[in-house]
Amino acid sequence: MVTRVIRISKVLGEQIFLGVIIPVFRKLSQDPIWSVRKACVEILPEISKIASEEIKQSQIIQLFDKFSKDNSKWVKMATFQYFGPFIFSFDNLDPNPLLLDYFLSMGRDATTTIAQVDNDTAFHCAYNFPAVLKTLGPKYWQNKLKPMHDQMVTDMRWKVRRSLAFSIHECAEILGPDITETDLLPVIFHFLQDIVDVAEGALENLPQILKVLKID
């Protein structure tokens, strides 16, 4: 049923989408079976992609917020997992503060750092980082996103560092040559001295980094 919603949504006009599909999706999002709600989370990025800006910033955001506070840990984990595609559906729009706050607080509170969250949450933070950065833009780098990135760069879990190493060229392309030189080059050198699983990511993407820096 949930997957049919997205198929139907793609061929309907906005009025039907708003008057029929969104109410159906809302009903499914309240289903007592957690797996149905989890399935809703999984297709929410696709629903958001075809929604108007007005619907995105109101009803879609409300649905996401509801899922992020679900009483099922599997539904909440799905919001971590699919956060990258979801926030990317807001690309070229003014970022909703709720999305930035959610990302920065994934699995954390005022007394917890990224190093203390569970493995899955930390990995999803690293994996979704480029999508978040692309959607929010460089202006959020220095004071908001860089501190989280710096913590993950030295995270004890190699899968977190590996994910960052394999996507660091994407961050460089978004941030541009100046920030790449001052903030990302030290990270690349750090990764190149890491274990093989991490170092290969930095090495593989070094040509793209040099291209951003305009070094032949």
Q: Spell out the SS3 assignment of the chain.
A: CHHHHHHHHCCCCHHHHHHHHHHHHHHHHCCCCHHHHHHHHHHHHHHHHHCCHHHHHHHHHHHHHHHHCCCCHHHHHHHHHCHHHHHHCCCCCCCCHHHHHHHHCCCCCCCCCHHHCCHHHHHHHHHHHHHHHHHHCHHHHHHHHHHHHHHHHCCCCHHHHHHHHHHHHHHHHHHCHHHHHHHHHHHHHHHHCCCHHHHHHHHHCHHHHHHHCCCC
The pLDDT value recorded for residue 200 is 95
Task: Say if residue 190's pLDDT is above 50.
Answer: yes
User: 12 falls in which pLDDT band (50, 70, 90)?
Assistant: low
The pLDDT value recorded for residue 110 is 44
CA–CA dist 212, 39 (Å, integer): 39
Correct CATH for 109-216 of 1.20.1280.290, 3.30.420.40, 1.25.10.10, 1.10.150.120: 1.25.10.10
- Output Rg (C-alpha) for the chain, integer angstroms: 19
* Class of residue 97 by CB neighbours under 10 A (exposed 0-12, middle 13-18, buried 19+): exposed
Tens digit of pLDDT for each residue in 38-73?
Answer: 999 998 998 888 888 888 888 899 999 999 889 998
The pLDDT value recorded for residue 102 is 86
Q: What is the CATH number of domain 1-94?
A: 1.25.10.10
Q: Which of 86-90, 103-107, 186-190 has the highest mean pLDDT?
A: 186-190
Higher pLDDT, 66 or 107: 66
What stretch(es) of the chain map to CATH 1.25.10.10? 1-94, 109-216
The pLDDT value recorded for residue 111 is 45
CA–CA dist 132, 124 (Å, integer): 11
Tens digit of pLDDT for each residue in 118-143?
Answer: 788 888 889 999 999 999 899 999 98
The pLDDT value recorded for residue 88 is 87
46 phi-psi bin (left φ>0, alpha ψ -120 to 50, beta other): alpha
The pLDDT value recorded for residue 106 is 73
The pLDDT value recorded for residue 6 is 56
The pLDDT value recorded for residue 18 is 64
User: pTM here?
Assistant: 0.79
Report the chain's mean pLDDT, rounded to a whole number: 85
